[in-house]
Structure 1
Amino acid sequence: MNYEIVNLKEKTIIGVKATTQNNDPSMPQIIGGLWQKFYQDGIYASILNKASEKAYGIYSDYQANVNGPYQVTVGCEVTNVNSIPANTTIQVIPAGIYAKFIVKGHMQQAVASFWQQVWNIPLDRSYLCDFEEYQDDCMENAEINIYISLASANEIAPSFCQSCGMPMSKQFYSTNADGSENREYCSYCYQNGAFLKEESMEEMIESCIPFMIEDNPAMTAEQARAILNEQMPQLKRWNK
C-alpha cells in the first residue's frame, strides 16, 4: 500500500464514543453500533456547524498500543462547539505528522482489508490518534482517506513494486535496459528493462497468495485473494 507523509492541523469532531480493544470478540459489533447510532438515531442530522459532509471514524487514547483498550469515536468535523447535541461528545484529532492512505472499494470490505494489512507496514506509530475520513457515502465504490499518527516526522514512505505490490528497499530495486536503477518494479518481477514473466493480473494474484499467507499465518487464501483483487488493479502494471 502506497502512502504519503502529511502534516495535519487540529480537527474538532462531535460524535458518539465507545471503548473496545482488538482482542474483544464484540469489537465489530461495538464499532458497527456506533455507526448505526450516529446515522439511524439522528445524531448526524442534529450536529450543527459541520465543516463538511464527511464522516470520521477515530481511534484514540490507546492504553497499550495495539494490545489494550482504546476509544472509538464516530462523528463529523465542526467549525465550533457552541452547540452540542445531547448524548454526543467532543473528540479532538491532534495536529501532527500522519501517514495518509487512500482506500477505494466497497466501504466495509476496503476498510477491513486495510486494517488487516497495515500491521505489515513498518511505521513508527505514535498510537496517539488514527482516523478514517469518508469522502462520500457510496457503499459499493467508496473513497476513504485513512490517517495513521506517526511518532517521527522523519518517517520515509517505502516504495512498492508496481507489479506484485511487495514493499521494496534498495536491495530489491530492478534495472532498466541501460543498467540504471529502476525503483518502480522489484527484481523478482523486472530486470534489464523487461518483465521476467508475461502473465495476467489474475495469475500474479495467485502467485502472491502463498507469500501473503506466509507473512500472515492467520489469513486464509480466500482473504488474501480478496485483498489482492482490491489492490492489484491500482498498481501501474495493471492499471490500464
Structure 2
Amino acid sequence: MGSTEGITGPLADYECTAIAKAPAVTQLNPPHRLLCGPGPGNAHPRVHAAMSLPEIGHLDPAFISMMEDIKSLLRYAWQTNNEFTIPVSGTGSAAMEACMANLVEAGDKVLIFSNGYFGPRLADMASRYGGEVIEEKAPWGTVFSFDAIKASVEKHKPVLACLVHAETSTGAAQPLEGVGKLCHDNGALLVADTVTSIFGVPCHLDKWGSGRRVRWYPK
C-alpha cells in the first residue's frame, strides 16, 4: 500500500494499491494446430522466420523499400497495374471499414448485395457514414445472377455498389465478370470483399474492374 503523506490537491485522498509480486507464467509455447477455417490459417515456415527478424521503424528507408515489394506482389495477386494498391495493417473488417469511411459521404446511395453474414455488415458500416443504403438480399449459400445485379444497378443508380466475392459464412463464390464494367457504365464504384477468395480463386481486378472504378480488399 502506498502513502499519500505530503501530497496535496486531487491526489491527497488517493490510496495506491499494487500487486506486490508479478505472477509466474511459463514461456509462451502454443500447441501445433491444423487450422482449416476461413481465418486464421497456418502460416508457411518462411512467414514464421520473417516474423522473427529485427523490427524497423515505419519511416526507415528499408521499410519503404519492403512496402514497395509488398505493393508489387499485391498487384500481381489481384492482376492489376494500379499503382495505388496498398496493404491495410489490420483485419478484413478494418479494410472494409476503410473502404466505407473513404468512399461513402452523407446522402450517397449505396447498393449492397447480401447473400450471407458480411453483406449486412457492409450495409451497417455504410449507414453509419450517412449512406442511403439499399440492400438486395439472396438466400445464404446462393449467388446473384448478372441479370439481377444489372437490373438493380440500373434501377437504383448508386454511387457505390458492394459485393462479397466469396462469402466467408457459406463459401459461396460470387461471379464478378462484367460487374465492374456495368458499374462503370452506370457511374458507380464497385467494392468487392475478397477476404476468402484472394489467393484461392482468380481475382482479375483490371479485367473485371473496368479501369480504376473498383476497390477490392482482402484480409
TM-score, scaled to structure 1: 0.24
The structure with the greater share of residues assigned to helix is: 2
Of structures 1 and 2, the larger Rg is shown by 2
The structure with the greater share of residues assigned to strand is: 1
TM-score, scaled to structure 2: 0.26
